[in-house]
Amino acid sequence: MSRPDGRAALALTTPAMALIGLFVLLPGVLAVVGSLFRIDLGKGTRWTWVGLANFADLVADPDVARALLNTVLYCALTIVPSVVIGLALALLAESARRGKGLLRTLLFLPFTANLVAMAVVFRWIFELRGGFANQALAVLGVGPVNYLGDERYALVTVAAVGVWRGAALAMVLFASGLASIPSAVHEAAAADGVTGLAKVRLVTVPLLKPIVLFATVMTTLQAVQVFDTINVMTGGGPLGATETALTMTWRLGFTYFELGKAAALSVLLLAVLITVGVLRRRSMLGGAR
Amino acid sequence: MNRLLWRAFRIGLVLTAVSIAVFPFYWTLRTAVAAPDSVFFKGISLLPDELALDNFTKAWRQADLGEAMLNGALMTVTILVCQLLTCVPAAYAFAKLRFRGRNVLYGLVLACLLVPTQATAIPLYLGIGSVGLGNTWLALVLPFTTSAFGIFLLRQYMVTIPDTLLEAARTDGLGTFSTLRRVVVPMSAPAIATFSVFSIFVHWNDYLWPLLVARDESLRTPPLALATFQQADTGLDYGALSAGAVIITAPIVVLFLIAQRRFVAGIAGGEIPG
């Protein structure tokens, strides 16, 4: 295309960009501004300038440090396992001789779940007394584990639920990638006698590289933004063991009504996310430019 | 022999994976159909002693699931229509038109992908309240009338439409808008289907935002209705909650079964060169 399409582009992009500006960017900017104030709700909202005091409070608060550390741990426990398991599941589903569609649907189910309802079910499965996970352990003669009540296990348990869901998402992304590999590639590989695991390693995975990056970005976003499952399963406890950046933001904002501090914490989180995003930018811009 | 073992190993893996994926759903269903006395049980019994459908009628009536599902459907569909109307044209412009500031604007869209809704929820909530829209149906829909993720996903797909095709449309006398409607949209159908399914999942199941803005009983969406079983003073009613979860998840699972093939085709698009 040679001629510039300025006016058409303006008409096509304006509705979306205006709404994004109004409902994402403006609140984002307000959060940044709000982080510099103490905001009192009540009879009319009162804003008091406090400069960087909110940030200073956060940095000095060991609970915040713990929440950030938990977020990092949760990411470490979920991102790579989700992507690797997702890839394995997609390869397994693809190699099935029949029922590919049904298999994919079953494996994708975790992503369709209503998180609030599912988190309640998981809470029950991991219950100390009478929960399925402990009943199963009892059969093996292993004592009950307090999955959600013990500081040592709680984060790992909620992370397991995160992988359960994340792997389903990654699976469907990889499945679509596998479906788009041209059959000529498979024929060429067969002609060269490349089959089985060797084919996966030498042919399939290199071709899926863009999807690996896409799936990593998606699971990272899901991991950093984990909220519903933790809120229902543990409420951030026991003793802050599963408190993450977002559950903490939520508590600051809507339980303690420290809106300025909550805004400051979301600004910190946003800064981290955008840094990660910029590092990954090239993968997201993929395709022709 | 070796191949047989390998095959058995693979089948074992598939069965394990499927059981782990499906087990919590099975468990929900089991709890839902169990008679109240046999919800809690001794030992591992995969089937309840007594079957009963009481939980379903209870969930349906007590949580007013019918009204909540109607609300939820209306909200989800309105959001989807608005998103498609705004995202499809924008994605086309970012994919195929040349204009000043394109990369900057698209960079902005990508940056928005990273903004968690929970982080903007507080200012958004205050803003919606201050213009007098708190606790209204509009408040449920307005913030989601467009989607950065939608623009991103659709653009990725549209980039792969060959330029020669669009030039052919132009030489045939089609303007930008008719090209969009008659060439680009039909060709992007898989990606549009994918995004639609994603959007429906997310908004049907969304809990946080409706919790904030829909305080009226009449505005409740399915997840809010489910939550009534958690907040009940009598404690957590696992049976009714599970039955409710089954009821509100069923339409979504059916939707995915129907859209499954297109959904899978729409994500990668032509991202993989071949």
The pLDDT tens digits along chain A (289 residues) read 445 678 888 999 999 999 999 999 898 888 888 888 888 776 667 778 888 888 988 888 888 888 988 988 999 999 999 999 999 998 888 887 777 778 888 888 888 877 777 887 888 888 887 777 888 788 887 778 888 888 888 999 999 999 999 999 898 888 877 877 777 888 888 888 887 778 888 888 888 887 888 788 888 888 887 887 888 788 777 888 888 888 888 888 878 888 888 888 888 887 877 776 666 655 554 443 3
Judging contacts by C-beta atoms under 8 Å, the chain A residues touching residue B24 are 110, 113, 118, 121-122, 125, 164
Considering only the beta carbons, identify the residue of B14, B40, B146 that sits closest to A130. Answer: B40
What is the pLDDT, as a whole number, of residue A119?
80
Q: Which 8-state DSSP code applies to residue A252? A: I
Contact between B260 and A15 using a beta-carbon 8 Å cutoff: no
* Structure-block tokens of residue A286: 């993929």
What is the pLDDT, as a whole number, of residue B141?
94
What is the pLDDT, as a whole number, of residue A1?
45
What is the pLDDT, as a whole number, of residue A136?
79
Q: Give residue limits of the domains in chain B.
A: 1-52, 56-268
Contact between B223 and A101 using a beta-carbon 8 Å cutoff: no
What is the pLDDT, as a whole number, of residue B232?
53
Contact between B116 and A224 using a beta-carbon 8 Å cutoff: yes
What is the pLDDT, as a whole number, of residue A2?
42
For residue A223, the distance in angstroms to the closest alpha carbon of chain B comes to 11
CA dihedral A244, A246, A248, A250 (to 10 degrees): -150
DSSP secondary structure string for all residues of B199-235: HHHHHHH--HHHHHH--SGGG--HHHHHHHHHH-TT-
Measure CA A243 to chain center: 15
B91: Cβ contacts below 8 Å, ≥ 6 apart? B150, B151, B152, B153, B154, B155, B158
A47: helix, strand or coil: strand
CB A180 within 8 A of CB B272: yes
Q: Which helix (H) or strand (E) holds B265?
A: helix B238-268
How far apart (Å, rounded) are the C-alpha atoms in residues A144 and B81?
Answer: 50
Could you tell me which of A78, A270, A262, A177 has the C-alpha nearest to residue B122? A262
Judging contacts by C-beta atoms under 8 Å, the chain B residues touching residue A31 are 119-120, 122-123
What is the pLDDT, as a whole number, of residue B61?
84
Q: Which residues of chain B have pLDDT under 70?
A: 1, 35-51, 231-236, 261-274
Measure CA B247 to chain center: 16
Residue carrying structure tokens 């303007």: B175
Mutant choice from B87, B115, B262 vs A, greatest count of A C-beta within 10 A = B115
Give me the half-sphere count of Cα atoms (radius 13 Å) on the Cβ side of residue B118.
27
- Number of CB atoms found within 10 A of residue B61's CB: 11
Predicted ipTM of the assembly = 0.83
The pairs formed by B206-210 with CB atoms below 8 angstroms and a separation of 24 or more are B207/A115, B207/A116, B207/A228, B208/A227, B208/A228, B208/B117, B208/B118, B208/B121, B209/B117, B209/B121, B209/B140, B209/B143, B210/B140
Position A77, amino acid: L
Give the predicted TM-score (pTM) of the model.
0.83
Torsion A103-A104-A105-A107 (CA) sign: positive
Angle at A80 between CA A79 and CA A82, to 5 degrees: 65
Contact between B97 and A9 using a beta-carbon 8 Å cutoff: yes
Q: Which helix (H) or strand (E) holds A49?
A: strand A46-49
Whole-angstrom CA distances from B249 to B23, B74, B146, B223, B252 are: 15, 16, 25, 10, 5
Taking each helix axis as running N to C, give the angle between helix A26-34 and helix B117-130, from 0 to 180 degrees, rounded to the nearest 10: 90
What is the pLDDT, as a whole number, of residue A269?
81
For residue B43, the distance in angstroms to the closest alpha carbon of chain A comes to 6
Contact between A249 and B118 using a beta-carbon 8 Å cutoff: yes
For residue A22, the distance in angstroms to the closest alpha carbon of chain B comes to 8
Q: Which CATH architecture has domain B56-268?
A: Orthogonal Bundle (1.10)
What is the pLDDT, as a whole number, of residue A124?
80
- Is B151 at the interface with chain A, CB within 8 A? yes
